[in-house]
């Protein structure tokens, strides 16, 4: 008897399958395997397809080549966000902007190489070529200007036209030493110095506000203090009766 399993025909006799029946059975089996493969691909690649449908990249820019579950990202610039896998809600505009980001979310990078080395850092804003370039995992940084925050690796820094310092956090740096030699700041309260003076001493209140206060009296200042309350204090020398001279160390 053949190695093929015998089939029972209409007459009740065991018969061997014909060449046509073997071909048909093979086709059915092949089709079944194909359907299984398609289902497996859908399970593995379905998440990536769903993620890809929520991301936008300018055509022909080689962005999102490794995307898996990342969503709601926008990339426009050659290789911008090229290696992103799971990052969400990022905006990258410029050549290789956020190129190495993998899981970082909520970043904004505008400019050539902006946040170029960021991988897992999130909620950073880098505007300018090379801004926040060396930041890998730092979060909540703001950098404005070419190479602003370039060296920053920490978190919660604000760098405006300053490269920043590696490892520091919670620091504000404005301008570059040797390039800016003057600073003018408006909004210091009150806008007019006390006593009609053209200058004042600027102090920081407990709330962090800059205020304009009267400068301290110079050491060795002599004043005329009234012997009876209710009379004004005047500067020495004392020329009126009822006043005595007093030296003030500092008011």
pLDDT band at 226 (very low <50, low <70, confident <90, very high): confident
The answer to whether the pTM exceeds 0.75 is no
Alpha carbon distances (Å) from 123 to 65, 102, 120:
22, 14, 10
The DSSP symbol for 168 reads: -
The predicted pLDDT at position 199 comes to 76
Residue ranges per structural domain of the chain: 7-52, 55-177, 184-215, 216-251
- Pairwise CA distance, residues 66 & 86, whole Å: 9
247 burial via Cβ count (<10 Å: 0-12, 13-18, 19+)? exposed
- Pairwise CA distance, residues 195 & 65, whole Å: 66
pLDDT of 9 above 50: no
Please give the average per-residue pLDDT across 74-83, as a whole number: 96
pLDDT band at 52 (very low <50, low <70, confident <90, very high): low
Of 20-29, 120-129, 161-170, which range is least confident? 20-29
Provide, rounded to the nearest whole percent, the portion of the chain with pLDDT above 90: 49
Three-state secondary-structure class, residue 136: coil
- Pairwise CA distance, residues 145 & 176, whole Å: 11
Please give the average per-residue pLDDT across 38-50, as a whole number: 42
pLDDT of 64 above 90: yes
| Alpha helices, H only, 97-182 | none
- Pairwise CA distance, residues 246 & 223, whole Å: 5
| Contact between residue 174 and residue 160 where contact means Cβ atoms under 8 Å apart | yes
Say if strands 7-8 and 14-15 run parallel, antiparallel, or are unpaired.
antiparallel
The predicted pLDDT at position 42 comes to 38
Please give the average per-residue pLDDT across 79-85, as a whole number: 96
Q: Residues 141-199: pLDDT tens digits?
A: 999 999 999 999 999 999 999 999 999 999 999 999 999 999 888 888 777 776 666 77
Provide, rounded to the nearest whole percent, the portion of the chain with pLDDT above 70: 69
Q: Residues 228-241: pLDDT tens digits?
A: 776 666 666 777 77
Q: Residues 128-142: pLDDT tens digits?
A: 999 999 999 999 999
Please give the average per-residue pLDDT across 89-103, as a whole number: 97
- Pairwise CA distance, residues 216 & 211, whole Å: 15
Mean pLDDT of the chain: 79
- Pairwise CA distance, residues 94 & 238, whole Å: 74
The predicted pLDDT at position 78 comes to 96
The predicted pLDDT at position 55 comes to 95
Of 79-83, 154-158, 163-167, 208-212, which range is least confident? 208-212
């Amino acid at each position: 008897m053949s190695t093929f399993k015998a089939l029972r025909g209409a007459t009740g006799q065991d018969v061997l399958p014909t060449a046509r029946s073997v071909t048909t059975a093979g086709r059915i089996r092949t089709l079944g395997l194909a359907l299984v493969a398609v289902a497996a691909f859908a399970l593995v690649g379905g998440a990536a397809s769903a993620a890809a449908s929520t991301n936008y990249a300018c055509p022909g820019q080689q962005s999102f080549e490794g995307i898996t579950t990342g969503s709601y990202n926008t990339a426009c610039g050659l290789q911008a966000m090229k290696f992103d896998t799971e990052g969400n809600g990022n905006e990258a505009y410029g050549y290789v902007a956020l190129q190495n980001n993998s899981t970082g979310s909520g970043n904004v990078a505008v400019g050539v190489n902006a946040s170029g080395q960021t991988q897992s850092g999130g909620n950073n804003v880098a505007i300018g070529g090379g801004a926040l370039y060396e930041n890998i995992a730092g979060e909540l940084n703001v950098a404005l200007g070419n190479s602003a925050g370039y060296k920053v690796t920490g978190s919660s820094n604000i760098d405006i036209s300053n490269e920043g310092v590696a490892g520091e956090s919670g620091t504000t740096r404005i301008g570059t030493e040797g390039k800016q030699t003057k600073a003018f700041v408006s909004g210091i309260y009150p806008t007019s110095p006390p006593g009609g003076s053209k200058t004042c001493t600027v102090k920081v209140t407990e709330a962090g506000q800059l205020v304009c206060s009267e400068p301290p009296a110079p050491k060795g200042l002599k004043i005329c203090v009234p012997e009876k309350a209710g009379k004004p204090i005047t500067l020495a020398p004392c020329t009126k009766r009822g006043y005595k001279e007093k030296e003030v160390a500092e008011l």
